[in-house]
């Protein structure tokens, strides 16, 4: 009986080591890169306010200060789609009402041309079930901080859920009344191998 119990416990331990967790507990990367032949240029939905325009432009500028030139940009053109994600080859930003379980979402499409695996499209929805502002204001999310996080996915960094990394832009939980406008050194150390 003891032998059977030991075999069952060892079997459970071995089986458990092959189960993939649903959350990443340290910074890690997506399996793609951004290449200069396919830069990520975001278009805001025509109805989005200056809160989103300013937040997106500032977040793109922050990432660009650490990336090779020309990989991220914001278009002066707007889009009129109300379907998220659009899956139309254009990087679109939305402010649609979804379930309240998320603050914002980045839906990405990858492409493999046989030589490169690259990000083909990145659509971001800033969930209109929540309130956004640029700056610290009671009961609102800082649009720039949220965009900074979502664009972090576009440059290849996954969420982290390690409580010791809660100050990171890429921490998987967002908070109202919180500004995260600077990338930490561990986040920046992921970039050289991601974008070309």
Strand order from edge to edge, sheet including 72-79: 72-79, 40-45, 91-94, 117-126, 104-112
Mind listing the pLDDT tens digit for each residue in 75-119?
A: 999 999 999 999 999 999 999 998 888 999 999 988 887 777 788
Q: Where are the beta strands (DSSP E) in the chain?
A: 40-45, 72-79, 91-94, 104-112, 117-126, 132-133, 141-142
Query: Which residues touch 161 (CB under 8 Å, ≥6 apart)?
Result: 23, 24, 25, 171, 172, 173
Cα 136–chain centre separation: 21
Indicate the domain borders of the chain. 23-188
Joined together, the tokens standing for residue 48 give 């989005």
- Give residue 67's pLDDT: 83
The residue count for the chain: 196
Average pLDDT, whole number, for the chain? 81
Summarize the confidence of residues 132-152 as an average pLDDT.
94
- Give residue 21's pLDDT: 37
- Give residue 8's pLDDT: 33
- Continuous H helices in the chain: 2-17, 50-64, 143-154, 185-188
127 neighbors 104 (Cβ within 8 angstroms)? yes
Number of H helices, E strands in the chain: 4, 7
Q: For residue 3, is pLDDT > 60?
A: no
124 neighbors 41 (Cβ within 8 angstroms)? no
pTM, rounded to two decimals: 0.82
- The Cα–Cα gap between 108 and 112 comes to 13
Summarize the confidence of residues 146-166 as an average pLDDT.
92
- Give residue 5's pLDDT: 35
- As a whole-number percent, the residues of the chain with pLDDT over 90 amount to 55
96 neighbors 84 (Cβ within 8 angstroms)? yes
What is the architecture, at CATH level 2, of domain 23-188?
Answer: 3-Layer(aba) Sandwich (3.40)
Mind listing the pLDDT tens digit for each residue in 22-81?
A: 343 455 666 667 766 678 999 999 999 999 999 999 999 999 998 877 789 999 999 999
């Amino acid at each position: 009986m003891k032998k059977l119990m030991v075999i069952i416990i060892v079997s459970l331990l071995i089986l458990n080591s092959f189960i993939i967790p649903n959350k990443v507990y340290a910074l890690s990367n997506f399996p793609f890169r951004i290449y200069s032949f396919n830069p990520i240029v975001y278009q805001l939905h025509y109805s989005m306010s200056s809160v989103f325009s300013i937040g997106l432009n500032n977040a793109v500028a922050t990432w660009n200060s650490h990336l090779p030139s020309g990989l991220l940009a914001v278009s002066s053109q707007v889009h009129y789609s109300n379907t998220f994600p659009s899956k139309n080859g254009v990087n679109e930003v939305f402010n649609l009402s979804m379930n309240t379980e998320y603050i914002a979402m980045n839906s990405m499409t990858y492409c493999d041309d046989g030589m490169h695996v690259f990000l083909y499209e990145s659509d971001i929805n800033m969930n209109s079930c929540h309130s956004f502002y640029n700056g610290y204001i009671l009961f609102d999310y800082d649009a720039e901080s949220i965009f900074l996080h979502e664009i972090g996915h576009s440059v290849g960094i996954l969420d982290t859920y390690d409580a010791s990394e809660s100050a990171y832009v890429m921490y998987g939980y967002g908070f109202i009344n919180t500004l995260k406008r600077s990338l930490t050194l561990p986040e920046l150390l992921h970039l050289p191998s991601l974008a070309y």
